[in-house]
Structure 1
Amino acid sequence: MDPQRKAVPGPMAPSSLKAARKSYAVANTKVKDNKVQKEIITVHTSTPSVEHRLLHSEQNQIYQGDINVLSIIDMNKDIMCCKYTEDVKDIATGFIDGTIRLFDCNSGNCTHTLVDDECLAYPGPVTAIKHRPVSKAHPITNTLISSYVNGCIKGWKYKYGQCLYTIREKRQTLGLCYHPRYSKFVTYGDDAKLNMYDEEAQTQERAFYNSQRKNIIDGHTSRIFACAFNPKSHHELISGGWDDCVICWDDRQPFATRHFMGVHICGEGLDFDKPGKQILTCCWQDKDNIQIWDYGSCKLIETIAPDMYHSKLYCGKLVPQTNLIVCGGSDSNMLRVVDINMKITECSIRNNPGAIYAFDFGTIRRKPSKVQETYKKISEIENVPRVAFVSGKRLQTVDFG
């Protein structure tokens, strides 16, 4: 076996400089004492009304807007990523030591642990956890796929704790992204390349990289931290990273077709709108960190500065069927919901235990209130799904509206 890298890559996966605050003053705290769950320090789940009374002051976080805290789980090691399972009953979390744990959304209990001999022998932070998009053509399979800094990509049958396959890359693998329709996924890493795999055959189909021709930008020149497929195309995707450039790819072309500059991506900060005509970029930079771009022309449409609190962003997504954005990052360690049209922050959680490296959408917890046809609803906050996000050593789930 080739020697594996163990270094933690870039600002996406540093160890938290400040340990997460271990609060034992939370109501209904359960301390786990079995061997599998010794790493869990506190687990707290309760109703939104109780959370409003207790948690906002005790967790040393600042809440703005109508936010319901559904659960808080504190661990003793950093969490790097999270993902809801296909049936949205569990949340999979990837740790800095290469372990993946699944937590029940209702009870907060650890239900499964995903780790094999290779993960124990060559530990490296988990950089991404994904599953195939659920549709009529792709029913629920109870599988997850994960990437690691040491170059491994592993497929898991999580209910049995079984590793189905392992793909090994000779690089630091910093993330992966599923194709919205086909059983394919793309991985990206520190060698400035994207590799496309057929999931069913576990074979590499092609790679995306620059031609190294002078004065021509047709690929990346540094680490890649984000990738997104165009939802209206079978062949088109975009990627971004440390070279301050978002590259537009077509798998029918040998190199990139077009690009735009000035976007420093350090996490999953790229997203398409549903029609596939606009791109959201959330950047790890002091200024212009939330921007909307035209996909066809690669021209900037608008820059959004929603409030006085500046935050360098690691991750961001458009909320489906709304004009809202959910994003998170460092500097104030803030997760927030932003209205694109109004250019204001609808809800925010500041002073989290660490930077917001990743989050994922769950289900819409309750149905929006019925309104008359003549009534114009200003806020769309009730249409935001519940959000699970990681911050330092904490996994937290919130709901809005």
Structure 2
Amino acid sequence: MDPQRVKEAGPIAPSSVKAARKSFAVTNTYVKNVTPQKEIVTVHTSSPNIEHRSFHTEQNQIYQGEVNVLSIIDTNKDIMCCKYTEDTKDIATGFIDGIIRLFDCNTGNCTHTLVDDECRAYPGPVTAIKHRPVSKAHPITNMLLSSYVNGCIKCWKYKYDQCIYTIREKRQTLGICYHPRFTKFVTYGDDAKLNMYDEEAQTQERTFYSSGRKNIIDGHTSRIFACVFNPKSHHELISGGWDDTVMCWDDRQPYATKHFTGIHMCGEGLDFDKPGKQILTCSWQDKDIIQIWDYGSCKLIETIVPDNHQCKLYCGKLVPQTSLAVCGGSDSNVLRVVDINMKMVRILNSLSTHMVYRNSHGSRIENPGVKQP
């Protein structure tokens, strides 16, 4: 069944015309030593005086709440996604030209540029950057996994600017999600399917998709933009996208086990709380944009309206060990840090560039300042 969407969706990065030649495969790739080209990114790092201002005139920024701007990274190409490295010293940013650049969080300097011959020959916007969750069982590896709109998934040893291996899918790959404990990850894209891979073996284990049975909702029917594993389960995960549904999956079952509707998702606006009992959804729609759901019953617990700013949301995550949720979107380009319990905004910022913040709890917040059309 061809993926269909039932309502208007948010903008999506264009795919490369040359991406039609892609096929599913895994290859080991090593970057040749080439003369570095002129860097296209310009970085402006805030001075200590500017970092503590509550109003930054040049950038048209408005800050409300306890906020400390650590650095401002201004680029001349759109940033599609970003992710802190495992030690949180650098932030990796994926650009529309298919290049990943790492910036030092303290100085704002570009420390690494991740691009190989394939990225140059068949460029496609970077759709996601992830690293394996750090734990005692999985120490820091200095590796990043990235997906591209042309169907590539690349593993980078970023300390050496080296691509370790490449997986190619026959679709637009729109995101990646790591398993919280096992060496596995899931990719998802425009074919309404989720693919699960074993990272160590670099092999595909299974695919999650709809059965296609009439009047039965047991899988997605359009693009998937978000996926997250249940932190208290080895087997359960959820996903959301353009078809206005959040699907609940169990890798021991052939199709989705349950679902709830009314959430139009165009980015990573999906998250579990630490106990794995409640779900946060952030939607790209006019109303009911921030909601809390009960995972067991798939029933709505509450809809949160923190302020009167009109903002369709692309992304949203819960801040660990706090009652805070971070979310951001289009229209008024607002980055919110919302106290879920008090139903109020702690920090409000109108964004035009990529910024790194600390909230009142001292936790770092990352947000891609993608300019909206």
Indicate whether the TM-score tops 0.5. yes
Partner of residue 221, structure 1: 221
Specify the alignment match of 1:368 in structure 2.
Answer: none
Equivalent residues in 2 for 1:228-247, closer than 5 Å: 228-247=228-247
- 1:257 match: 257
Deviation of the 1:346 alpha carbon: 1.2
> 1:312, 1:83 → 2: CA distance?
22
In the superposition, the TM-score normalised over structure 2's length comes to 0.88
Q: What does residue 382 of structure 1 align with?
A: 360
Q: Whole-Å Cα distance in 1 between the matches of residues 291 and 205 of structure 2?
A: 33
Query: In the alignment, residue 203 of structure 2 is paired with which amino acid?
Result: T
Partner of 1:21: none
Match in the other structure for 2:370:
392
Q: CA deviation at 1:392?
A: 3.0
Are the equivalent residues in 1 in contact too, given 2:268–2:314 (CA < 8 A)? yes
* CA distance in structure 2 between the partners assigned to 1:249 and 1:37 by the alignment: 46
Which string of whole-angstrom CA distances, capped at 9 and with x for unpartnered residues, describes residues 46-82 of structure 1? 33x5323386222112211121111001111000000
Once the two structures are TM-superposed, the CA of residue 37 in structure 1 deviates from its matched residue by 6.1
| 1:38-57 mapped onto 2 (5 Å cutoff) | 38-47=39-48, 50-53=50-53, 56-57=56-57
**Secondary structure, in 3 states, of the residue corresponding to 1:53?**
coil
Partners of 2:336 and 2:345 within 8 A in 1: yes
- How many aligned positions are there? 344
Is residue 193–residue 208 contact of structure 1 (8 Å, CA) maintained in 2?
yes
Looking at structure 2, the residues matched to 241 and 393 of structure 1 have their Cα atoms a distance apart, in angstroms, of 21
Identity %: 75
Amino acid aligned to 1:278: Q
| TM-score normalised by structure 1 residue count | 0.82
Query: How far does residue 291 in structure 1 lie from its aligned partner after superposition?
Result: 0.1
C-alpha distance in 2 between matches for 1:171 and 1:257: 25
- Which residues in structure 2 correspond to 1:130-141 (within 5 Å)? 130-141=130-141
Matches within 5 A, 1:88-99: 88-99=88-99
Aligned partner of 2:153 in structure 1 is 153
- Distance in 1 separating the partners of 2:370 and 2:179: 29
Instruction: Give me the whole-angstrom Cα distance separating, in 1, the residues matched to 2:46 and 2:92.
Output: 17
Distance in 1 (alpha carbons) for counterparts of 2:193 and 2:221: 9
Q: Residue 11 in 1 paired to residue 10 in 2?
A: yes
Counterpart of 2:206?
Answer: 206
Is the CA contact (8 Å cut-off) linking 2:54 and 2:63 kept in structure 1? no
Structure 1 position 383, deviation (Å): 2.0
Distance in 2 separating the partners of 1:208 and 1:388: 30
Report Cα offsets for 1:80-121 as digits up to 9, x if no partner: 000111111111000001000011111111111100111111
**Cα distance in structure 1, aligned partners of 2:84 and 2:334:** 21
* Matching residue's letter, 2:215: N
What amino acid is the match of 2:39? K
What residue ranges of structure 2 are gaps of 5+ in the alignment? 1-8, 15-34
How far apart are 1:297 and its partner, in Å?
A: 0.3
Q: Which moved more, 1:62-71 or 1:244-253?
A: 62-71
TM-superposed deviation, 1:389 = 1.7
User: Larger deviation: 139-148 or 62-71?
Assistant: 62-71
- In structure 1, C-alpha distance between the alignment counterparts of 2:36 and 2:43, rounded to whole Å: 15
Q: Distance in 2 between matches of 1:76 and 1:250?
A: 42
